[in-house]
Structure 1
Amino acid sequence: MHALLLLCAISVLDHTVRSAPAPSPRSTTAHGLIRGMWVWNSVSILQSPTQMNDLIVGATAANITDLYFYMAPSSYATFTNQLQTFISQASRARLRVWGLDGARTYLADAQGPRLFYQGINNLIAYNSHSSPSQRFYGFQADIEPQDSHADSQNLTAFHNSIPDSQLSTTAKSGVWQNTASQDREQLMRNWLSIHESARNMLHAASLRFGAAMPFWTSTYYGEEIRVSYPDNTSPRQCVMKYMMHYVDEYVIMSYNTDPVNAAGRVETQAAYASTLPVGSMPNVFAAVEVTTGVGIYISYGDTPGKASKQVVAADMRNITAALTKYPAFAGVGLHMWQAWQALPA
């Protein structure tokens, strides 16, 4: 699912800013795994004690450990009291709550990341005025450069469906930069820069940073999406290998209703992350989709014989079994609460 829609100091916006110390490594479940769930209908939940309770009860029943709770940049101030009530209740149920935001328009070829950074600053300000049991645990970004809705918004700098080797290097072939190849190169650099800056902001506040990530960065039409970051003097490599250094949680949207395929979409990333030193190794996750209208074989909600909580839970166990050999693997995420709530048992 694609994302919905205090200015930062200039030094924070600069991707060359020095990294703040990372928060302490997070605890896991008794089985050593984490299970996150995306929650997009946050406004209606915050306005309804019944919906708050339903979410907490339903998440607990599904063995969820972490809630990725969508927050528009202005919502931290608008819903301060409701957030404090909700997060307190979630904390008592041993659920960790993350802020969540992202949009294709946060990239530099559109509106840029100002509002995205503002939201992070607002989360940090909210936490500073809340008791420990009322605070967000971290923040997750969901900024997808290939967003399928982007083309209709004339945001075509990624050049969907074209592998790196086939991007034009002819002058004036670009829609944002001079060439199509430069379009993607600069978009990938901006994508990385935004995540690096967000990581620095959150770590400075002792908060964790995660990101929802596409599965195909190393297999885009048979090729890696490669980039030199931060500039041409840097090694050219898969964008995923750079991104791993800027997140604490790398949550892969590996959506496929065949658990073998879903696990396969995580193997390259989990294997690479597992080669990194323990202090800089991110948690890597798979994820399943249950929302209807997404597509057969992509979503459990659309796939005959798969649309039940029991089947989803069994396949999540199979995905887990296939990936636990990788030290960086940390669990399976579930997209999303409203769809899960409606899914038959």
Structure 2
Amino acid sequence: MHLPLLFCAISVIGQAVRGAPALSPRATANGLIRGMWVWNSASILQSPTQINDLIAGATAANVTDLYFYMAPTSYATVTTQLQTFISQASRAQLRVWGLDGARTYFADAQGPKLFYDGINNLIAYNNVSSASQRFYGFQADIEPPDSHVDGQNLTAFHNSIPDSQLNTTAGSGVWQPTAAQDREMLMRNWLSIHETARNTLHAASLRFGAAMPFWTSTYYGEEVRVSYPNSTSLRQCVMKYMMHYVDEYVVMSYNTDPVNAAGRVQAQAAYASTLPVGSIPNVFAAVEVTTGVGIYISYGDTPGKASKQVVVADMKNITATLVKYPAFAGVSIHMWQAWQALPA
């Protein structure tokens, strides 16, 4: 089933952003970019059939950009397969981004070295590949909430507590002296990681994007705020700092009510649209279609919503709400395997 195009003119799309390469005509023809996350990349690269299915399915869904997961050390071991895949994607006018992220990349865990290694390995891969075989950019998916991962309880964010209620008593912290300092330093680290990644990628003429939580402006009724790069800096919502370090800010606005989903992107799109021309990142909404995530969060779990036709209709409604913001660039889909399995 060929899904309908969304026709909107977005003035900001296609501009060069802080030294990154401009977008190609495919993104600007109908004014929107549509990304799709691909996590099962290892199996796809080993299967010509899966490559063909992905390219055909993405094209049918009017996807323009694939966020393609790559383990940091895997680039050199699958160079030939990557060159074949990206060449085919390029012929189909699909841009391929590297993708990686983990809670463990924060400094309260293993730190970002492996994450940075992955970016450098992507750049090294691009250097030995022809133009049609290269990654277009790299997307980070590094999220700060508390998590139990790799045998570690990472609790420096202090889930479910707004900034104003974080404990400031010495000894209340798990990483820093106080709980309030835990979050402050975690937020600074989050920004530092993205700033470093942006600088490295722009030096190689590559774009940098990031998947971002929707709640930075509304965490239990408050902004998540930070002073960056140090305590003497302006204290403001972490989102406002982050906008300066990415070319694409993809909000994980997952909700099966398009009014709610669009509402989760308005603060980000509105702020980005106030930035100077040439410094405006592309801001995206996103839909979740994976089963097992939760009712009203994922289309795959929500009765009456589990079809491609419904998702596309809701994406159109989300776009109609957000298109007034110059920074708004489109709606992305999470994720390929679930989309492939979703009924038409």
TM superposition score normalised by structure 1: 0.93
CA distance in 2, matches of 1:25, 1:153: 41
CA shift in 2, pair 1:267/1:180, >3 Å: same
Judging changes above 3 Å, is the alpha-carbon distance between structure 1 residues 155 and 148 closer, same or farther for their aligned structure 2 residues? closer
1:261-317 CA distances to partner (integer Å, 9 max, x unpaired)?
Answer: 000000000000000011110000000000000000000000000000000010001
Deviations 1:150-191 (A, max 9, x none): 597310000010000000000000000000000000000000
One-letter code of the match for 2:289?
V
Give the deviation of 1:148 after TM superposition: 4.7
Q: In 2, are the aligned partners of 1:309 and 1:344 still within 8 Å (CA)?
A: yes
Paired residues in the alignment total 326
**Structure 1 counterpart of 2:171:** 172
* Residue deviations 1:121-149 (CA, integer Å, cap 9, x gap): 00000000000000000000000001554
- Going from structure 1 to structure 2, the CA distance change for 1:147 and 1:140 (only over 3 Å counts) comes to farther
Q: Deviations over 1:168-224 (max 9, x none)?
A: 000000000000000000000000000000000000000000000000000000000
Bigger Cα displacement from structure 2, 144-153 vs 331-340:
144-153
Amino acid corresponding to residue 33 of structure 1 in structure 2: L
CA distance in 2 between partners of 1:194 and 1:139 (Å)? 13
Query: In the alignment, which residue of structure 2 is the partner of 1:310?
Result: 309
* 1:219–1:70 distance in 2 versus 1, CA, 3 Å: same
Does residue 24 of structure 1 match 2:21?
yes
Task: Find the counterpart in structure 2 of residue 137 from structure 1.
Answer: 136
Task: Mark the runs of 5 or more structure 1 residues left unpaired by the alignment.
Answer: 1-19
**For the residues of structure 2 that align with 1:306 and 1:178, how far apart are their CA atoms?**
47
From the superposition, tell whether residues 151 and 46 of structure 1 become closer, same or farther in structure 2 (CA, over 3 Å): closer
User: 1:26, CA displacement in angstroms?
Assistant: 1.6
In 2: Cα distance, 1:155 partner to 1:112 partner: 12
Same amino acid, percent of matched pairs: 86
Structure 1 residue runs of 4+, over 6 Å off?
A: none
Asked whether the equivalents of residues 100 and 141 of structure 2 are also in contact (C-alpha less than 8 Å), the reply is yes
Deviation of 1:93 (Å): 0.1
User: In the TM superposition, what whole-angstrom CA distance separates every residue of 1:64-114 from its partner, at most 9, and x where no partner exists?
Assistant: 000000000111111100000000000000000000000000000000000
CA distance in 1, matches of 2:71, 2:182: 28
Question: Does the CA-based 8 Å contact 1:150-1:156 persist in structure 2?
Answer: no
1:6-38 C-alpha deviation (Å, 9 max, x unpaired) = xxxxxxxxxxxxxx9521332324211000000
User: Does structure 2 conserve the Cα–Cα contact (< 8 Å) formed by 1:29 and 1:65?
Assistant: no
What's the Cα RMSD here? Answer: 1.2
- Aligned ranges 1:243-262 → 2 under 5 Å: 243-262=242-261
After superposition, the Cα gap between the structure-2 partners of 1:148 and 1:308, relative to the gap in structure 1 and judged at 3 Å, is farther
1:307–1:285 Cα change, 3 Å: same
Write the distance in 2 (CA, Å) between the matches of 1:285 and 1:48: 31
Q: What SS does the corresponding residue of 1:284 show, helix, strand or coil?
A: strand
Q: Could you say which residue in structure 2 is the equivalent of 1:225?
A: 224
Q: Distance in 2 between matches of 1:282 and 1:130?
A: 28
Return the alpha-carbon distance in structure 1 between the equivalents of residues 192 and 149 of structure 2. Answer: 20
What letter corresponds to residue 332 of structure 2 in structure 1?
G
Equivalent in the alignment of 2:298: 299
- CA–CA distance in 1 between the matches of 2:281 and 2:182? 28
TM-score (norm 2): 0.93
The 1:95/1:147 distance shift into structure 2, 3 A limit, reads farther
Inter-partner Cα distance in structure 2 for 1:85 and 1:24:
23
Decide whether aligned partners of structure 1 residues 120 and 50 sit closer, same or farther in structure 2, where only a CA change above 3 A counts: same
- 1:1-345 matches, within 5 Å, as 22-27=19-24, 28-146=27-145, 148-149=147-148, 153-345=152-344
1:175 and 1:76 map into 2 onto residues whose CA distance is 36
